[in-house]
Structure 1
Amino acid sequence: MLLASIADGQPGNIDVTLGAKSAVLQRRLKIADWIRQYGQMRVDELSTALKVSEVTIRGDLTYLEEQGLIVRSFGKAIAAKSGAPRDRPAGAPLTKALLVPMLRRAQALIGPDQTVLIGPGPLATQAIPWLAEIPGVSVVLTSTEAIPLARTCLDARIYLLGGEITAESGMIEGAGALRMLDHFALGWSILEADALSADSALLVAAKPAERLAEAAIRRSTRSIVLIGNPALSLERRTAQLGLTGISDLILPGMPSNRLRDILLGAGFRPVETDGGTEAHFSSHPAHSRSGARAFGEAS
């Protein structure tokens, strides 16, 4: 095609051809680098990340396999000459552009005069300033790290869960902390997870955070889990949280097809967003056929 363009005296076609080839090559190099970095990736994950069809991805993978860069197996692309696949990274900090729509969506779910538990971790803690606009809100903190932010941002009743303070994170833990949850009529809990695993479990930071989250979900009328990564994680942890009992999941972007299938199978349905980057899935009946309510309508 390139030789024909030269022979026809059409130099403009040369640029188009080279540009198209360059874009394809760059995409394939990016795919190869991701697979090398993470050990393995699924076709649907690559399709979502690169915003091209799965047919295009399969063509790219065929090329990379012919070059000896990857091996294909059961819908996955595996790095050639690699040992056990490395875990997909989870828990990486979110940019402000991704974080703000998630927090705005969480705020919009919570109505006035609610008692809200803020789970441990930096992602859940960043929801605190957004609660300032909710009339009559009360807040239960589960970490000493959240105290300065709550005191600065909130003109509200602020409670600190009692128990043992962990040296590493400042989280309140122990049997006493779990029992103290019974003293609050929790309307909402805002919790966090690093990612959703291929085993349909939410990956959390540590076992104490898992136990606290499970107790908070049982005692709350509704619960929000902010998920830090929209990609399905290959990681396995001892600290993980089941999807049962959670009413709302908010992700920083559209999930992969496989992750979406897991959520649909667990009874979650996508909730229409207002043009933001976030993705919202809910198991609550009020959201089964409609979008998120306006601020202050949820209870």
Structure 2
Amino acid sequence: MNNRRREILKIVSQNSRISVNQLAEKFKVSTVTIRQDLDYLEGEGFLKRIHGGVASLDSDDISSRLADNYESKLKIARKASSFVETGETILIEGGSTNTILAKEVSKKEGITIITPNIFIARECRKSKNNNVILLGGIYQKESESLIGSLAKLCIDNVNYKKVFLGVDGFTPENGFTSKDMMRAELATYIAHKSEKVFILTDSSKFGKSELTKLFDIKDIHYVITDEGIPHDDRDYLRKKGVKVIIA
């Protein structure tokens, strides 16, 4: 994704909708070029075209978050996808990097993808060779996630060996943390049932401590991130037995 397309995502997320002419004027390019950009971004599931312009998907500012550190997130997602094998059942929880992972996994065959996230389920819609299981629960509009006791009940009735989770922060003092208490509760529940737990996060989340604690570090097997992870955090995780992989 080039810089102009990343900037378009940010603008759309901030303005909800904007016209082709406005974008062409802002970037000093032709309307034909802007339409090509919008066709690409819509095809990737980042926004939706409307008559004469474009609108955001209004999914927890997903367009903006996908645009932030996109290249790093893409590398992380592709590295994570390399751990997924034909015939496996995996669970992808939520978050911008996991959204890109869903796209990458959808290119494979014979995979069953379980998710509590409607946005991620939509990202898998183009895949003809994989199955998607959308968990039930209380609909959280901002994140398009399904949460609560019904979601836990669904988790109890499915089996998976690998789970891919996102986080909002990490410090050695507080561990992995989240901004959302309800999603954090479900993510922790999901992690406890899996044989292998992967954390996918770009390095901007390290050094931050958010509202609520997630799973214990002992429950995590892999952290896939970029080279910007602080050395102290990387060494701390490795001493705790976590495999830190730089994408």
Task: Decide: shared fold, TM above 0.5.
Answer: yes
| TM band (smaller chain) | 0.5 to 0.7
Q: Which residue of structure 2 aligns with residue 145 of structure 1?
A: 119
- The secondary structure found in structure 1 opposite 2:203 is coil
Partner of residue 105, structure 1: 79
Aligned counterpart, 2:179: 205
Identity over aligned residues, as a percent?
17
TM-score by length of 2: 0.66
Q: Give, in angstroms, the shift of residue 174 of structure 1.
A: 0.7
Secondary structure of residue in 2 paired with 1:103? helix
1:199-251 CA-partner distances (Å, limit 9, x unpaired): 15112231122112112112222121111325631434224332222111111
Alignment of 1:1-299 (within 5 A): 94-153=68-127, 155-229=129-203, 232-271=206-245, 279=246
What residue identity is the alignment partner of 2:134?
A: L
Q: Structure 2 CA distance, aligned partners of 1:231 and 1:163?
A: 28
Shift in CA distance, 236/132, structure 1 to aligned 2, threshold 3 Å: closer
Structure 2 counterpart SS, 1:148 = helix
Q: Please give the alpha-carbon distance, in whole angstroms, between the structure 2 residues aligned to 1:120 and 1:153.
A: 18
Q: Secondary structure of 1:152's match? A: coil
Distance change in 2, residues 1:262/1:144 (3 Å) = same
Q: Within 2, Cα distance between the matches of 1:103 and 1:110?
A: 11
Which ranges of 4 or more aligned residues in structure 1 deviate by more than 6 Å? Answer: none
1:137 and 1:227 map into 2 onto residues whose CA distance is 23
Which amino acid in 2 is paired with 1:235? S
Taking the aligned partners of 1:231 and 1:150, their CA distance within structure 2 comes to 26
Give the aligned residue type for 1:168. E
Is residue 129–residue 154 contact of structure 1 (8 Å, CA) maintained in 2? no
Q: The residue matched to 2:114 in structure 1 has which SS?
A: strand
Instruction: State the 1:147 CA deviation.
Output: 2.7
Q: CA RMSD in A?
A: 2.2
Contact 1:142 1:161 in 2 (8 A): yes
Q: Unaligned 5+ residue runs, structure 2?
A: 1-64
Secondary structure at 2:82 match in 1? helix
Is the alpha carbon distance of 1:180 and 1:252 closer, same or farther for their aligned partners in structure 2, counting shifts above 3 Å?
A: same
User: What letter matches 1:131 in structure 2?
Assistant: V
User: Given the two structures, how large is their TM-score scaled by the length of structure 1?
Assistant: 0.56
